[in-house]
Amino acid sequence: MVSLQNSPSVHRTSLFLNSFPQSQKHSTLPCCRRAGISFLIKAEQAASSSTGSLSQDRPGRRQVLAIGAVAPGVFLVNQNSKSFAAETKKGYLSVTDKKDGYSFVYPFGWQEVVVEGQDKVFKDVIEPLETVSVNVIPTSKQDIRELGSAQEIAETLIKKVLAPPSQKTKLVEAAEHDVDGKAYYTFEFIAKAPNYTRHALSTVSIGNGKFYTLTTGANERRWEKMKDKLHTIVDSFQLFNV
């Protein structure tokens, strides 16, 4: 079983941020238009080794997973979350982290779980690849555009942070958008493992002296069914001053 207790994502993200020169100047890019991170890929591997391949539907699988047979010991439900969650619109709940200064929504029915190295994680208890995670790392940068273009940052994050080197990845598209004067990069990518393919969306931004990454996704076989929900998650991610 693959353990999630020593997720390297924080260290890898830190290395990613530190690889940029501190003297790099701010540049404005035209607008082209929300781990997850390596643990999301490992989650499928962990679940697969406990329950067999989860990439194929088979009778009774959903009933078994529904009673908590997904990778026992890997996920721990956080019963004492400090997040403020409230129903925002039909089918979604909102999370506001007043300490780190961000908010987003996630589908009703997903559970909050604890994964070391991640600030927030919510997941579907039946489909192990349907998750959303937020990672927060300190940075001296003031704006995401100081690190490069949306395409450059997306390609680097996918290769060095969001998927392990053993997986084949593909950047589908990357875009920049602005919310209340704050720049965000949002990108779509695919990560292929030997026994499954994950289709994911990420959004990154900088504020409050921190580099924020929100990643959500689903198994490729469920992408068409889930993509609107996943876009809603990513589009809802917003920073505020703390």
Give the tens place of pLDDT for each residue, 188-236: 999 999 999 999 999 999 999 999 999 999 999 999 999 999 999 999 9
- The pLDDT value given to residue 36: 38
Neighbours of 88 (CB within 10 A): 14
**Which amino acid belongs to residue 149?**
S
State how far Cα 58 lies from the chain centre: 27
Residue 202 contacts residue 23 (beta carbons within 8 Å): no
The pLDDT score that the predictor gives to residue 54 is 32
So what's the pLDDT on residue 51? 34
- Predicted confidence at residue 155, as pLDDT, reads 97
- Which contiguous run of DSSP H or E holds residue 66? helix 61-66
pLDDT of 166-198, one tens digit each?
999 999 999 999 999 999 999 999 999 999 999
Distance CA 210, CA 195 (A): 35
- Does the pLDDT of residue 70 top 50, yes or no? no
Q: Residue 147: what pLDDT?
A: 96
* Whether residue 45 has pLDDT greater than 50: no
Angstrom distance (rounded) from CA 218 to CA 78: 22
Model confidence at 28, in pLDDT bands (50, 70, 90)?
A: very low
C-alpha angle 152-170-30 in degrees, rounded to nearest 5: 35
| H-helix or E-strand spanning residue 38 | helix 38-51
pLDDT band at 128 (very low <50, low <70, confident <90, very high): very high
Closest CA to 65 of 81, 80, 44: 44
Q: What is the mean pLDDT of residues 104-131?
A: 96
Q: Is the pLDDT of residue 127 over 50?
A: yes
At CA 117, angle to CA 179 and CA 126, rounded to 5? Answer: 85
**Which pLDDT band holds residue 17 (cuts at 50, 70, 90)?**
low
Query: Band of the pLDDT at 89, cuts 50, 70, 90?
Result: confident
All structural domains of the chain, each given as residue ranges with its CATH number in brackets, are 31-53+67-239 (3.40.1000.10)
Tens digits of residue pLDDT in 135-162: 999 999 999 999 999 999 999 999 999 9
Report DSSP letters for 198-231, one per residue.
Answer: EEEEEEEEEETTEEEEEEEEEEGGGHHHHHHHHH
Tokens at residue 113, please?
């779980």
Average pLDDT of the chain is 76
* pLDDT at position 18: 54
Buried b (16+ CB within 10 A) or exposed e, 153-183: bbbbbbeebbbeeebebeeeebbbbeeeebb
